[in-house]
Amino acid sequence: MKKIFSAFLFLLLTLALAVPGLAKSKIIRIGFNIPLTGEIPKVGESSKYAAEMLKADINGKGGLQVGSEKYLLEFIYEDNESKAESAVAVAQKLIDRNKVLAIIGPNSSKQAVPAGEIADMNQTPMISPWSTNPDTTKDRPWVFRAAFLDPFQGPVAVDFAMEQFKAHKAAVLYALANDYSKGLAEIFKNDWEKKNGKGSVVAFESYGDKDQDFSAQLTTIIAAKPDFIFLPNNYNEVALIVKQAHDLGWKGPFMGSDAWGSAELMTLCGKDCIGQYFSTHYAAAGATGATKEFIDRYQAKYGYVPDDVAALTWDATRLVLQAIQDAGKLTGNVRKDRKAIRDAMANIKSFAGITGNMKFDDQGDPIKCAVVVRINDKGEFVFTKSVCP
């Protein structure tokens, strides 16, 4: 038994060492630091599928045109298990072992912040499609992101609610243990009170990790008689909160944030979520042009409407490829090429992504528009309004 075990281990070891050795020249290698297992495997899957689609497109045409030569793309997907230390090890591996030109990911801030440190230290361009924590890109010239930041999204929700619901009093219910939810809730509260006067956020309630029952908080909120409820929470919790609020007799509207925008939301929430609004990166239903083409092809290939992570990964990857093309030529020297790509990325003037036009500010954060969508009777996310900074 021991012999078989050790033979098996040896086999795995040789396999693991042999795989990177097969690479040929004329290849652009890009690493993906994504959560294929762990807490949020769907996010990793969306990222991978979007990237696979893009790779098939470009390699199908013979490769990416850089200067006068064509390069085939090679994407390396590494699983970071949704853990900080694994994201660090993966980033380290992609940079040292696989010699990638750039890294896409990690998606959640918990991993993107430490992995960004590694990328920045080792002078490798990294772009996180989804992370919203300011620390991810702060003072890190080599790190970029494709999603807009919460300090922008909060006011979007405030302005939209004031206009659409004619609201003067707001209530907020947020997840205490979720930095995204907590941060956005606080930004929203500050902005709302600035525009509507002190005390206009009539209820500011929180709940803990993995809570299932929100009736206590919702009772307080409903008793405070707000004009609407702001829910900057993950889609799985949103489904529960909306249902329970309706059970408690709440008839007013809800307003959400980009974390609502999962393919899973409507399966969990059903008809309770119909008619609600949330701000997000792009609107799947009613999309036009390149966005529509992306959505249709993704749906045909993988069987569901792509969520914002898929769209953002598509944009992030295309941004990197754009930067490679802008760099003009690849020298084959990884360090020099990485530097050229970073500079090209920071200098992108305007990029037409499927989540909107964008360019980077000096911190590596994008300047782009947010959209507010409405959930229609068919459960589709329909474009309502676009808000630009």
Burial group, residue 141, by CB count within 10 angstroms (0-12, 13-18, 19+): middle
CA dist list (Å): 166 to 241, 253, 276: 23, 11, 15
Binding of another protein at residue 334 (CB under 8 A)? no
- Smallest distance from the beta carbon of 267 to another protein, in angstroms? 21
- Classified as helix, coil or strand, 184 is helix
Binding of another protein at residue 121 (CB under 8 A)? yes
What phi and psi values does residue 141 have, to the nearest 5 degrees?
A: -60, -20
Which residues are paired to 278 by β-bridges?
A: 256, 373
- Token duo for residue 107: 């998606």
Using CB under 8 A, which of 114, 155, 261, 306 touches another protein? 114
Binding of another protein at residue 333 (CB under 8 A)? no
- Smallest distance from the beta carbon of 14 to another protein, in angstroms? 10
- Smallest distance from the beta carbon of 385 to another protein, in angstroms? 30
Binding of another protein at residue 195 (CB under 8 A)? no
Using CB under 8 A, which of 110, 140, 338, 374 touches another protein? 110
- In angstroms, the CA 112 to CA 106 distance is 5
Give the contacts of 36 (CB within 8 A, at least 6 positions apart).
44, 45, 48, 77, 79
- Smallest distance from the beta carbon of 369 to another protein, in angstroms? 26
- In angstroms, the CA 250 to CA 239 distance is 14
Binding of another protein at residue 248 (CB under 8 A)? no
CB 386: neighbour CB atoms within 10 A?
12
Binding of another protein at residue 185 (CB under 8 A)? no
- Smallest distance from the beta carbon of 246 to another protein, in angstroms? 29
Interaction mask 82-101, another protein, x per CB under 8 A: -xxxx-xxx-xx-xxx----
Q: Which residues bind another protein (CB under 8 A)?
A: 1, 5, 12-13, 15-16, 19, 36-37, 41, 77-79, 83-86, 88-90, 92-93, 95-97, 109-110, 113-114, 117, 121-122, 133, 135, 176-179, 182-183, 208-209
